[in-house]
Amino acid sequence: MRHYEIVLMVHPDQSEQVSGMIERYSAVITSAKGQIHRMEDWGRRQLTYPIKKLHKAHYVLINLEASQKVIDELEKSFRFNDAVIRSMIIRVKHAVTEGSPMLKTKDEYREDLATETKTYSEANSEVNNE
């Protein structure tokens, strides 16, 4: 079995159904003795350029280990699912389990925002005390 990375772009109006889609695709992978190493829901993001007159899409990242038969079945499912705007399947050399840069930047942004808010409130309290 080989390692793959899949990125899906789902229609923004279908964002509520993403969890169901992920469950279906996970069932296909695990039923064929495949293994999911990482699954990240990046949420709704702005597109660089419009696709089918859409400016946003819901992104999902999946890193998995599966046979070519499973990948062919997933690719066919993506192609016939109208909610999937685009999909990309890449073969990678080894399993990737750590967080992706997209997810890290989101977490780092939250941490930076919390730090800035804390620093601002401390500075504001010092000014009020004087």
**33-55 pLDDT, tens per residue?**
999 999 988 888 899 999 989 99
**What are the backbone angles phi and psi of residue 123, rounded to the nearest 5°?**
-65, -40
Encode pLDDT of 80-107 as tens digits.
Answer: 999 999 999 999 888 777 777 676 665 6
CA distance 86 to 21: 14
- The residue type of 88 is M
pLDDT at 43: 86
Alpha-carbon separation of residue 61 from 8, 28, 37, 41, 87 (angstroms) = 7, 16, 11, 6, 10
Residue 121 clears pLDDT 60, i.e. is over it? no
pTM for the predicted model, two decimal places = 0.74
